[in-house]
Amino acid sequence: MNILIMGPAGSGKGTMSELILKEYDIPHISTGDMLRENVKKGTELGMKAKSYMESGHLVPDDVIDAMVEERLMQPDCHKGYLLDGYPRTLVQAKAFEKISQKIGKPVQVVLELDVGFDILKDRITGRRVCRQCGAIYHIHNHPSKVEGICDRCGSELVQRKDDTVEQLKVRLQEHETNTRPVLDYYEKKGLILKMDASHGTEEIFEEVKKALGKIA
């Protein structure tokens, strides 16, 4: 199953991705993680990306595209992939169509997680992250046993600087400007699977499984 997952900040992409990869035995590929891994390992593409990042510039599309192509050709992608954070723009979407066709792994479904602003606001502003191990909590939906303390490692829980209403509005505007054309592109191809992600995770996942079952 070759899946793209899309949705604004707070829509639950991370949680849904974990459930999907366990159910379908496919890797969750985040372009952010992939970029950091290439830089860390000092690969040719990683060094190219690093040179742009250190000079304060965005990493060009052709470098990101090449990283994605290389990653999807790894053995763990033989059953498919779950791609998160790419394509972000219409230009990337068109480039990825050529790449995926070339390597014989075309997109089968684009999972769009749709959530209203008020729910996103609650999810984002209530999110807390462990300073040490990165575990994620929520003050209402998934609180730690001891307020402000991580259940896993006992370190302090903090609120990310960008987990504010103001930053959420900025990210939603960016999502609408950049990602909406990508979603429209895939909509015309009949690949969009739009899910109401305002419900509980398990309920949403059951609906996702039913829908994916009809495609597989």
β-pairing, 2-6 vs 81-84, is: parallel
Contact 20, 26 (CB under 8 A): yes
* Residue 39: partners with Cβ closer than 8 Å, 6 or more residues away: 46, 47, 49, 50, 53
* Catalytic annotation, pick one of 48, 71, 123, 127: 127
Residue 171 a catalytic site member? yes
Nearest to 123, CA basis, from 200, 26, 202, 19: 200
Place of tokens 């035995």: 25
* Catalytic annotation, pick one of 121, 171, 194, 209: 171
Place of tokens 């990653």: 71
Residue 88 a catalytic site member? yes
Residue 210 a catalytic site member? no
Nearest to 199, CA basis, from 129, 114, 84: 114
* Catalytic annotation, pick one of 50, 88, 121, 194: 88
* Catalytic annotation, pick one of 22, 98, 160, 169: 160
Instruction: Show which residues are catalytic.
Output: 13, 88, 127, 160, 171
